[in-house]
Structure 1
Amino acid sequence: MRLIIDTDTAGDDVFSLMLALRRPGVTVEAITIAHGNVGFEQHAENALAALEACERAGEVPVYLGAQRPFTRPPLDAAYVFGADGMSDSGLARTAQRPAPGHAADEIVRRVMEAPGEITLIAQAPLTNIALAYLREPRIARALKHLWIMGGTDNGVGNVTPAAEYNLYVDPEAAKIVINAGFAMSLVTWTETLRDGLLTLDQLAALDALGTPRAAFFTQVNRTSLAFAQETEHLDGSLHPDALTCAVALDEALILEAEMAVVDVETMGELTRGYLSVSNAILPDIEVADPALRRRPPNARVIKKIDRQGFYAALRDALL
């Protein structure tokens, strides 16, 4: 598999990178950096730290991209991950530096040079992907597959009752990407709540591996674990980005999925960033309201994932 990962690297984004970097048969062609979880330049530092932790420093280029959403000021999630996105670990600056070039241009160049070969995992606000599409719309057909971590599946969000962070931060970009014609799969916050929790016992077992990568994982995960326990009242920590990467790398982990019509709300006062997902329980559009326009399904929405298989994949990456 040839892979590009677009990321606002902090916390679980790091573990997603580690899954891909440690998986035999996977070539991470590039890591592209978007605004999001913490300070923009810190995202790059965290991606570079992940490369070093996986003994891949200097092998994978890291490109800086969009520093802000299309229409609103940047919004971070340092309250979840710490000011540096790494549980305030104070990691040393790595020798590798970001490569020259803009992330969106690199996505376009790499996809168009290898049509049908590149898979892209989008685990940040979708600004870089939208910019790449606007610069070269043909990437929608040339990309092998687009995996998006974002939105909810008729469930509660993690910023507002309606919206998950990645879509809430830049819904205009998300709407462009969702409607661009990519072959696309979504792992939502709803699915993360169902299958993306690592329990305290599992986290202890990972730490007990005793490897440098396991120690790195435990250190970086401290603040988000505390947030999950104290604010979300969970018995462990949530891992939406790593969950998305795991199923992108091994679709055998998908136990249930459904093709759906999805779109993103950009205008609502209470629902801005809401991911609308069609549901089989709804009547046909012509029955409910003949004025509505029937649309074909445009995304595969992942409904259920092998939780033990996900844990095993992460464990293997930390050995």
Structure 2
Amino acid sequence: MTVAVYLPLLLAPLLALAARRISTRGTPDLAARALAVAAVVAAAASTWSLCLLALTLLDDLPPLATLDDHPRIELPEPVPGAIALTAVLFLVWSLIRLRADLRRRLDTHRKLREVAKPHAGLVVADWDAPLAVAVPGRPGHLLVTTGMLRLLDDDERRAVFAHEHAHLAYRHHRLVAWTAAAAALNPLLTGVRETAEFLVERWADEDAATTVGDRALVAQAVARASLATSGSGPTTMLGMHGGQAVHRVRALADGAPSPQRSRFLPPILLTGGILGTTAVATIDFVDLARAWL
């Protein structure tokens, strides 16, 4: 097997770097969708590469192992056994990480849904901690605490509610879940997951600004909510919190963004390269399997 089998693993950090570059320019909705697709493709490709490496251990099992000492048959040795074994361990570790992330995400959503039964799509929790979050479900609803309501005036509340409704309307929890799953399978994609989480918040900010018709108001609500919630609560929640609030406020102050589709060229090329090297690695393994058989 050639170096192609390793490239899907090695290209993931470059995708994370490209994600950071496109997060600062253009519309966040296009960027978030593009990164989610790229992350899933990269995670699937890297996992498949690990599977191919792990499958090379088959030559150490009967009946192939019995042919190693055959005087007239020389089986190809694709990769060292230590590398193949390491690939197996990484696969097991990745699956454990994926299961843990999925369980944590589902538990969080379940606990939020169990707070109270929503009325008109809203739950007001009598908690001092300031929190406003979109709770996925069928249908989804908003959860806001009395601490958050006391913190904001009427106009800021409208901005916060518009932000959370955007999360529900565009099903941002699914996009975040897919990128989180990709990062669980391949930790080198953690930067892509973090960027996608930031972009869905920016997406909701832009949608809220359009809904209320006042970018400055949304920026003010984001700043006030972030100051109250900085350093608290899970950052994976789709809600108003302190994560990267400075960048969000600055983006709202800069005016409505333009698409700038040219910024997607690096991640598109990287994704194409990942798919291409995965195809080459698969062909190499098929040739190897034919030689074994």
TM-score normalised by the chain length of structure 1: 0.22
Structure with bigger RCO (C-alpha 8 Å, 6+ apart): 2
Greater fraction strand? 1
Greater fraction helix? 2
TM-score normalised by the chain length of structure 2: 0.23
